[in-house]
Structure 1
Amino acid sequence: MPLRHGDVPLISRLKGTLVSRELDHIEVETAGGVVYEIQIPLSILERLPRPPAPDFEIRTLQVVREDSVTLYGFMEPFERELFSRLLGASGVGPKVALAMLSTYSARRLAQALAEKDVNALKQVSGVGKKTAERIVLELADRVEDLALGAPGPAGAESEDGPGAQEAVAALVALGYSFVDADAAVRGALTQGEPESTDELVRRALAKR
């Protein structure tokens, strides 16, 4: 469990110029000339501007350990709150929590946790069946409010539109991995609301 020391000023938000953007971290230079490295989940990468980007702002969660102080960055308060709650589960450190938010959007992850979807969590690198079951046991009830109020990315359709879960299951039965099936269905939903699960499956198959 991460420690938060009272004598370390907590940084909850940074404003400045985005000077570097990599797959797993960014660098932000503040007005005072200090450059902060911030770890990020892959799920927010496409929402970041291309550097150099002045007037950039990112919400952060600071994790303090005995030998390190690390900043984790998120575009929305909801994403940061979910990350914080993930860290509250036994055996879930920042690395696993970040991997979970890199595999799924915060919305999809919160819903998977609330629905006790162990199979979804097992698709995350570093999360086996026992770990997934423990995470679900500890967090399912604690993320229900987040799952109900989970905002989706701007301009995207809800991932749990008509027949979405059934469509994912159908693709998995056809041999798709869960991650690929989930991504295909989410992509198909961006074309508008389908009239049936069968139509959603056909759209998803056409995109592969």
Structure 2
Amino acid sequence: MIAYLEGKILSKEADGIILLAGHIGYEILLDTITLSMCMEKSQANETIALYIYYHVTDRQPKPVLIGFLTPDDKDFFQLFITVAAIGPMKAIKALTRPVPQVARAIEDRDTVFLSQLTGIGKRTAEKIVATLNGKVLAFAATQSPEPDPGPTEPTDFLPEEKQLMVSQVTEVLTEQLGHSGSSARRMIKQALEKNPGISSPEDLFDEIYQETR
């Protein structure tokens, strides 16, 4: 399965690009913002690096590649398509606003904003909020374009006595609450940087989710 590609844009398509990587042209779908940024990079003769969501189903036997500039954007997309009635093809067309803005609207229960996204009506906006509210807080902050840190990153800056606490909270966030690994790591790090005195899993959860209350 293809997860990452680097190369030059061979041509621009209606909903994406053909990326020339290793003498092979890959047809990749992009949201409108990512497409615009890729074209700017191409005009500056920069190499395009994309994290790929690989989509294939029984109904859609032809593989579809969907590209993202950061692991964060891909993680958000994978959460976004867990909403009923939003598949990958609908989701990529809907993301006409930056991920942090969409995530903030979800956390703020702003169905008016969400219903302005392409193909998202009021009822679907309500489903998005019902499914994802409380799960996308980490994406609402300004995101760094740096690659996703390794799985041990949240504990690199911690004293040993807090590492068990972080491991416990990470497990709950990912296994029980549906967050991606990178989202859980980011949420924990932000909470600990904001409140270094946290000493229990309960306090850490309170700090992580205080903005959603």
Q: Which residue of 2 aligns with 1:27?
A: 18
Q: Which one of the candidate residues 13, 27, 50 is aligned to 1:58?
A: 50
- Find 1:91's aligned residue among 67, 80, 85: 85
Q: Per the alignment, in what secondary structure is the counterpart of residue 57 of structure 1?
A: strand
- Paired letter, 2:134: D
Q: Distance in 2 between matches of 1:53 and 1:14?
A: 16
Compute the TM-score of the two structures, normalised by the length of structure 2.
Answer: 0.60
TM-score by length of 1: 0.62
Structure 2, gaps ≥5 residues long:
146-213
Q: What is the correspondence of 1:68-107 to structure 2 with a 5 Å cutoff?
A: 68-102=62-96, 104-107=97-100
Picking from 36, 41, 44, the partner of 1:46 is: 36
Return the offset for 1:17: 2.2
Cα deviation, residue 25, structure 1: 0.7
Query: Using a 3 Å threshold, how does the CA distance of structure 1 residues 53 and 64 change in structure 2: closer, same or farther?
Result: farther
User: Unaligned regions of 5+ residues in structure 1, if any?
Assistant: 1-9, 154-208
- The structure 1 segments of at least 4 consecutive aligned residues displaced by more than 2 Å after TM superposition are 49-56
How is 1:132-151 mapped onto 2 (pairs within 5 angstroms)? 132-147=125-140, 149-151=141-143
Q: Is the 8 A contact 1:20 1:51 kept in 2?
A: no
Distance 1:89 1:30, change over 3 A: same
Q: CA deviation at 1:125?
A: 2.5
Secondary structure, in 3 states, of the residue corresponding to 1:50?
helix
1-structure distance, mates of 2:47, 2:124: 40
Preserved contact between residue 59 and residue 77 of structure 1 (Cα < 8 Å): yes
Instruction: Please list the CA deviations of residues 159-190 of structure 1 after superposition, one character each: whole Å capped at 9, or x if unmatched.
Output: xxxxxxxxxxxxxxxxxxxxxxxxxxxxxxxx
The sequence identity of aligned pairs, in percent, is 27
Structure 1 counterpart of 2:113, one-letter code: A
Distance (whole Å) between structure 2 residues aligned to residue 122 and residue 93 of structure 1 = 16
How far, CA to CA, are the matches of 1:15 and 1:81 in structure 2? 19
Q: 1:125 to 1:17 in 2, by over 3 A?
A: closer
Task: Evaluate the alpha carbon distance shift between residue 84 and residue 122 of structure 1 in structure 2; reply closer, same or farther with a 3 A threshold.
Answer: same
Counterpart in 1 of 2:198? none
